[in-house]
Amino acid sequence: MIGFRRLALAALIPAAVLSLGFSGALAQSPSPAPSASASPSPAPSAAPSPAASASPAPATTPSPAPSPAASASPSPAAPPPAAAATPAPVQTADPFGQETTLEAKKVVMVKGTANWDTAFDTLIDAFKALNALLDKQGIKPSGNPMIVYTSTDDTGFTFLAEIPIEQDPKNLPKDMSIGKSPEGKALKFVHRGSYDNMDNTYEAITNHLDDKKLEAKDTFIEEYLTDPLKTVEDKLVINVFVPLK
pLDDT score at 92 = 58
Task: Give the integer Cα–Cα distance in Å for 31 and 33.
Answer: 7
- Label each residue of 205-239 as H, E or C: HHHHHHHHCCCECCCEEEEECCCCCCCCHHHCEEE
CATH architecture of the region 99-243: Alpha-Beta Barrel (3.20)
Res 188: pLDDT: 96
More confident residue, 75 or 198: 198
pTM of the model: 0.63
CA angle, 235 as apex, 231 and 241 as ends, to 5°? 95
9 pLDDT more than 90: no
Percent of the chain with pLDDT over 90: 58
Give the list of residues 6+ apart from residue 142 with CB closer than 8 angstroms, or none. 105, 164, 165, 166
Q: In this structure, what DSSP letter does residue 123 have?
A: H
pLDDT given at position 28: 43
* Res. 191: pLDDT tops 50: yes
The string over 122-145, giving b where at least 16 C-beta atoms fall within 10 Å of a residue's C-beta and e elsewhere, is bbeebbeebeebbeeeebeeeebb
Mean pLDDT of 49-63: 46
d(CA 234, CA 197): 9
